[in-house]
Chains A and B, each alone.
Chain A
Amino acid sequence: MLDLLWNGLVNIAQWKYLLPLFAGTLIGVIGGSLPGVTITMTVIVVLPFTYGLDPLAGLAAMTGVYVGGSTGGLIACCLLGIPGSPSSIATTFDGFPMARNGEPGRAIWLGVWASVWGGLLGALFLVFLTGPLAAIALEFGPWEYFSLFVLAMAMVAGLSESSLLKGLISTAIGLLITVVGHDPIGSVPRFTFGSAFIGGGFPFLPVLIGIFAFAQIMTDLEKLNSPRGEALQSPAGVRLERFSHLKVNLEIFKQPFLLAWSTIVGLIIGILPAIGGSASSVMAYDQAKKFSKTPNRFGKGHPEGIIASEASNNANVSGSLMTIMAFGIPGDAVTAVMLGAMTIHGIQSGPLFISQNPDIAYGIYAAYILAHPCMLLICLALMPLMLRVTSVRMAVLAPVVLVLCVVGAYALNNTMQSVYVLLLFGVVGYMLVKLGFPLAPLILGLILGDQIEINLVRAIMTDANPWLFLTRPISCLLLLAAASSVGLAIWQHWRHQTRMAGEEPDF
């Protein structure tokens, strides 16, 4: 196995593979850093080039896009307070405050290095444990998925700062948003009131960008006291701090447990199809907060939050590569496109893929590993330029960012519908923030909403016996974990409340 991997690495290190890998990673980082440009969109850009190329060159480019995109998202998170791609949502929670506190460089590099280490740690699992881990993933039937999602929601209930109740309502609003439109089972229109606009439903990405982008930009605008006030500066402050890569790495390795656990969370979510990087980022963030000695500092620029989110979303990539390597089943749109590229070259995917095509399989492993140093180099080269964003005036930054959001929403589905959804949820998001509702639970509700429903109904359709949720061992374990997670959150909250009196949020 090690010699196969070694051969793979040597193979990929040739220019004909290294160049597409590097180019893919570069495109991925840039695409990821633009709010609204998803990794899927970026990987499709690379697709036509792969038709003519040697299959491995094309796959290397796509792997590069995947890795680069998962990291690139953090740049917009830290500098603009808007997730560059959905998989880096939770990086916004601490990365942006840290950047605002005058340390944008530290925030970004913590994220980049955490991505590198999380990704490489994930590579270990990818190379050595793909078979067994993917086999466990198959054991997840609708019951297990449902219970896992209940656990995820229970975990995030604890994320709400001020009020557990508002966190709960936020979650419910998130779930409710996914209910609107045609139902996922029989396509019955729900709560549409005969409107074709509502009937199209509210797709995840425009809702997400709408909520984050408008909530951020509009709360910044209200601080501009007069249109010609002196406060007309960019979100993240102008001064650039000095930071050292050594210090950032020490910060990460000071807590090996945090890094390892975030990686594992990302990996698990990655292996299970249909959940994706956005959920892994939020869940790892929540875990970090639960285990932290300093949970109160989360949300205010705590390095642990950035490390957890970024390590997990890169490990997520290695997880989702596992299912296509082991079974030829894509877990998300990006791996679906990769699988399509393999098929076009006549490579038979499936359980025999690794043994029948070892040079391609280990080539993909090697490309995944080498994409990380490539990504690091690209970030080193781009960062001085990217950090300049922090010195752009708000009056210029706001319209440009909003145009990007609009184009991104449009490009997602090539319809204006998504743009209208973006605007609608821009207003909703801004109002929710003003009313003191936390966004994290809402986002998780939004990510998991239709999956919870689908799996619940599937379970019932497969077998009408409701006790299966408790008699199937994995499902039962997950539900128990959910119950204890709620208990812990209530206890933590109660302790927190007794220490400090509640305050009215300012309006």
Chain B
Amino acid sequence: MSIGRDGITGLILLAVSLFLLVKSFQLPSLPIVPVGPGFYPAIVLSLMAAASALLVLQDLLKRRTPAGASDAPRRNYRLVVIAFAIVGAYVALLPFLGFRIATVLFVGALQAALDRPRTVRQWVVLATIALGTAVMSYFIFERYLLVLLPRGAWTGF
């Protein structure tokens, strides 16, 4: 009997739901509401805890075929991590650089990370797309959808 991926997930979820369940009993209640704010979360969390426990059990009882011999295509997790990092940087810098500057940089950087340009021409195409996306989305939202996009705290732009 060994624990698999589902089992570990189940254990984590079980721990989280039990922790929050305890928290939900500590919530203060209001005088005019007969059930406190922890009433409904406690129901949901009990459900989740029970289901997670069952998932762990199911995983432990499952007959396992020996690992390895997977014919799934090799997956490029490096690219996923890089992409998440670039998006993270974009979101973090957005309020400081302002929408227009941050978007040009983001679209350029993510494109370059996914498909590194080699010739000058490819760099020009990349820059054009980056600028175009920022300008187009800015105009559509600011001018037509009346959404004032964030301005940079550092740049004032």
Contact = CB atoms under 8 A, between A and B. Distances in A.
B146 A222 contact: no
Contact of A232 (B40, B45, B73, B115): B115
Given A41-B145, A191-B20, A227-B114, A165 B51 contact: yes
Interface residues of B, number: 72
A414 B147 contact: yes
Contact of A402 (B4, B99, B110): B110
Given A399-B106, A399-B111, A416-B95, A461 B58 contact: no
A203 B45 CA distance: 20
A227 B87 contact: no
A228 B116 contact: yes
A233 to B, nearest CB: 11
A5 interface: no
B40 A228 contact: no
A398 interface: yes
Contact of A460 (B27, B28, B35): B35
Given A165-B54, A172-B47, A188-B27, A221 B76 contact: yes
Contact of B37 (A44, A186, A435): A186
B76 A224 contact: yes
A427 B85 CA distance: 11
B133 A176 contact: no
Interface string A455-468: 01100110010000
A14 interface: no
B44 A179 contact: yes
A37 B145 contact: yes
B76 A461 contact: no
B101 interface: no
Contacts, number: 176
A419 interface: yes
A398 B145 contact: no
Given A45-B146, A395-B114, A399-B111, A226 B76 contact: yes
A399 B110 contact: yes
Contacts of B75: 222-223
Given A179-B41, A423-B87, A423-B88, A404 B129 contact: no
Contact of A403 (B17, B106, B114): B106
A489 to B, nearest CB: 15
Contacts of A423: 87-88, 91
Interface of B: 4-6, 9, 13, 17, 20, 23-24, 27-28, 30, 33-41, 44-45, 47-48, 51-52, 54-55, 58, 62, 65, 70, 72-77, 79-80, 83-84, 87-88, 90-91, 94-95, 99, 103, 106-107, 110-111, 113-116, 129-130, 133-134, 137, 141, 144-150
17 contacts: A41-B145, A169-B48, A172-B48, A218-B83, A223-B76, A227-B114, A394-B115, A399-B106, A399-B110, A399-B111, A399-B133, A400-B129, A402-B110, A403-B133, A404-B137, A407-B141, A435-B5
